[in-house]
Amino acid sequence: MQSSNHRLRDMEQHHPLLSAGADVETGSLAAGVMVGGPHAVHTAGNRTLWFIQDSCGMVCATMTWFLVLYAEFVVNFVMLLPAKNFWYSLLNGATFNSFAVLALASHLRTMLTDPGAVPKGNATKEYMESLQLKPGEVIYKCPKCCSIKPERAHHCSICKRCIRKMDHHCPWVNNCVGEKNQRFFVLFTMYIALISAHALGLSGMHFFTCVKVQWNECSDFSPGVSVLLLIFLCLEAILFLTFTAVMFGTQIHSICNDETEIERLKNEKPTWERRVRWDGMKAVFGGPPSLLWCNPFTGLRLRRLLLSTYGRRGGSEFSV
């Protein structure tokens, strides 16, 4: 379809432009308005809470929390509290629990942050005229969500939205990893890897200590129960450490090369100006290197969370 001002090119298949009276909701990309289908509830601005109602994702996210809390239980009640060395228990307990809180906070921020969704249904004639495109300039429309597709955006079949700089959809965080939440996903993988390594170290120390003395003196639980809890914790820690360490390294490599996983797999040639190494890290984490890069609470406002209590649910995601 072509006009004197611009050409519209559909992706995958051709769809007619939505008419002015069609039942769609439009929004400004610059304003960051979250827009959904007829079953989605939304508000303008940054006061949005993003949540994907996907059964598999919600189960995986719940399992993540359960496994982290299980690790906290074993570390605190099986290994640290019965220990005779007060400072050993205090320092290790403070370190492990701090990292666990930061890991869960990073998980929540990744799951509940809009990853960079393109407004759904904004491929209207009026909206394209407002873009004031140059003659001959080509724009792309996603036929699945009827939205104008920005550069480096890809459609997610689970989120049912086009996501800017989409890296992949992760069921463990029940969300896409994209332009706006990649930082929190990197922190999540980092803190999970840290608590997994810490749990393995504590388990080794506990086994070594209990072999030299009676098992009854090492834990308030029976020897059989203690051993089973520790074995399961070690298996969980090895699995999580391997997975998250690899994922953390992959994400850092992608950020430093300014290339998402989808772009790498599709071998897409960059048509954008790459921000590599520290420029890429600054773009994702914001500002020059500082301890704030490791803080998942940065930018979190209590007032924004309180406003979320007035939201309603519906559709594949709900926002407030």
| Residue 73, CB-side half-sphere exposure with 13 Å CA sphere | 12
Q: Are 317 and 40 in contact (CB under 8 A)?
A: yes
- Largest Cα separation within the chain, whole Å, is 86
Pick from 194, 167, 180: nearest CA to 112: 180
- Told to judge if 218 belongs to the known catalytic residues of this protein, a careful annotator would answer no
- The candidate with the shortest Cα–Cα distance to 159, out of 247, 76, 309, 52, is 52
**Which residues are paired to 138 by β-bridges?**
7
- Taking alpha carbons only, the member of 284, 272, 257 closest to residue 183 is 284
- The SS3 assignment for 137 reads strand
Are the beta carbons of 226 and 242 closer than 8 angstroms? no
Which position among 156, 159, 170, 210 bears the catalytic label?
A: 170
Backbone phi, psi, residue 222, to 5°? -65, 155
Residues tagged active-site: 170
